[in-house]
A and B are shown apart, each in its own frame.
Chain A
Amino acid sequence: MIPLRIKVEANADQPFVVRLRSFEADAWEQRTEQLNPFDAALERVGPEGADYVGEGGAIRILGIDPSKVNGDVLLVNPRRGTADRLIRSASHHNTFLVTERCDQVCLMCSQPPKKHHVDLFPHFETAALLSPEGATIGISGGEPTLFKEQLFRFLERVLEARPDLSIHVLTNAQHFEEVDRQAMGRIDQGRVVWGIPLYSRDPGVHDEIVGKAGAHVRVLENLAVMCRLGAQVELRTVLMRPNADGLPDLARFIVSALPFIRTWAVMQMENIGFGRMNWKALFYDSSKAFDVVGRSIDLVRSRGIDALLYNFPLCTVPEPYRHLAPATISDWKRSYREECDGCSLKARCGGFFEWHPANHGYSNLGAIQ
């Protein structure tokens, strides 16, 4: 597993953002690039750790080789002696968790909400501006739009300052208002994708899943707002027992009422958080009963809307649909199982969540030759 938090020693009172430059990698390049004030360059490496020195002073990284963190952007907590790798430069899976608060309590939530909130937007903004060229940054939570003013400002400023970046925001779309259209209009919507969950056409089923009465109505209203903004929407539907049978209905609803979306993502569950607690009641074995899924995405695709399968191990998907199942499980939480040994599709398969139970629930699974 790739560590997201590493040990550091730094003498400072307040958390700070720093970018590590292990110039070894550029040893043969001319060091023409000016060091940014937020950069710290590798000075020396020994058994006691790796020392970096920047404009702000010195910090020491422990337990990970500098070659693995070159270009990484850290949020250092000097008191705890830890640093979060906000940006891992070698990864496509960089996500900022902007809050742990949420106003919905979804049955399968992989990251159950907490009351606690610390505003770290200034640090996130700095980190985003230090990211590698052409990066895509994820924004998640909790519910990021609970702090929509900071969020909109973040998006507007970062995208303006860095024309090469793209941002993907996960939101329950409960908090957009007509008055936000001005602030949202200032954001370059061409480089933001909004991932918005919709679980059913039936308001009762949707509201039950997200644990909030009236949520369905609100999502639909705000999808209309997103449409008028020309925002790119990735509609996300986690496949579960309570909504599996209604999937074809939802597909018909999408093609008739939501044809402006960019992608419809049907997703498998993640076995952690509430998802683990409710696994037995919720997990839908799509390897055994793929039919509802297949029919639904066939319909949506036939209308020219992109439909994809997220978090589906390739062997659980019938062959004609495998090209629709990208490797979506992030590098740092991906693992493969014994059954995967010798599978010819392993290289392009997202595998399983690290915490997927040994008794995985898929009745059809195994290496594909």
Chain B
Amino acid sequence: MKKRLFAIPSLLAAGFLPANAHALPAKPTLDGGVGKAKTLFDIFKLDHLYTLAGHRSHSSHSSHSSHRSSTGGYSYIPPAPSQPAPLYSAPSTSTPTYQAPAIAPTPAPLKMLPGNAYKFKEIVQQVQFALLAFGYYSGEIDGEMNPELRAGLQRMQADYSLKVTGTITPETLTALRIEAR
């Protein structure tokens, strides 16, 4: 109720019409007809979630939108149909044809675990240190994946008969005695 008391004077202050105007809330009826047409009152009493959302994920400034300067992020121009298709040289491992799935109505969002990136960096650092100790890596211990680390992982995995992926697999972590927690 408080909100309502607040909202009406602010409408008036914003220059909207006085008491008898169509901005007043419609009386609720039992047949559910109210929901069909939004009155100005309904429109302006909306809580704008966006502002809250903008603040939620942000530390220093007032909105997400403020992050944008005017240029678009990228542009995508498919080849003109008249162009001859460039010869596709298959990757050395045979690649099956990519068949895009039919567009699903609601693909699930990717859940971002808070602090995940930081945790990952820590793990990478431990892997770098372990590979350094075993003589498979001689680069920086910076928590960043790099080609040398990838190559070191592959050699280590091959030497210890693990699945050679060049990635940090749970198996590799176990072999290096790194507890991922």
Which A residues are within 8 Å of any B CB, using their own CB? 4-5, 9-12, 14-19, 22, 24-29, 33-34, 36-38, 42-49, 51, 55-60, 65-68, 71, 75-81, 84-86, 89-90, 92-97, 100, 110-111, 116, 118, 120, 122, 125-126, 129-134, 136, 138, 140-142, 161-162, 164, 166, 168, 170, 185, 189-193, 195, 228-230, 232, 234, 236, 238, 259-260, 262-263, 265, 267, 270, 272-273, 306, 308, 310-311, 326-330, 332-333, 348, 353
Contact = CB atoms under 8 A, between A and B. Distances in A.
Contacts of A22: 167
A223 to B, nearest CB: 14
Contacts of B105: 161
B117 to A, nearest CB: 7
Contact of B73 (A47, A94, A273): A94
Contacts of B116: 25-26
B69 A328 contact: yes
A19 B165 CA distance: 20
Nearest to A55: B101
Interface stretch (B24-32, B76-84, B133-141): B76-84
A71 B110 contact: yes
B11 to A, nearest CB: 10
B68 A116 contact: no
B110 A130 contact: yes
Contact of B109 (A26, A48, A132, A170): A132
Nearest to B120: A25
A44 B167 contact: yes
21 contacts: A10-B98, A18-B100, A24-B169, A27-B123, A27-B168, A36-B104, A36-B107, A46-B166, A48-B91, A55-B101, A78-B88, A89-B112, A90-B117, A95-B73, A125-B103, A134-B112, A166-B54, A236-B70, A263-B62, A326-B62, A348-B60
Interface in B123-165: 123-124, 144-147, 150-151, 153-154, 164-165
A196 B156 CA distance: 56
A42 B101 contact: no
User: Could you say which of B64, B66, B91, B101 has the most chain A C-beta atoms within 10 Å of its C-beta?
Assistant: B66
A42 B76 contact: no
Give chain B's interface secondary structure class: loop
Given A36-B108, A57-B95, A110-B70, A92 B64 contact: yes
Interface of B: 14-15, 38, 40, 43-44, 46-50, 53-54, 56-58, 60-79, 85-86, 88, 90-93, 95-101, 103-113, 116-117, 120, 123-124, 144-147, 150-151, 153-154, 164-170, 173, 180-181
A56 B90 contact: no
A164 to B, nearest CB: 7
Contact of B74 (A37, A84, A230): A84
Given A38-B101, A71-B110, A328 B68 contact: yes
A123 B75 CA distance: 13
Given A37-B107, A65-B146, A195-B65, A56 B169 contact: no
B96 A138 contact: no
Nearest to A109: B70
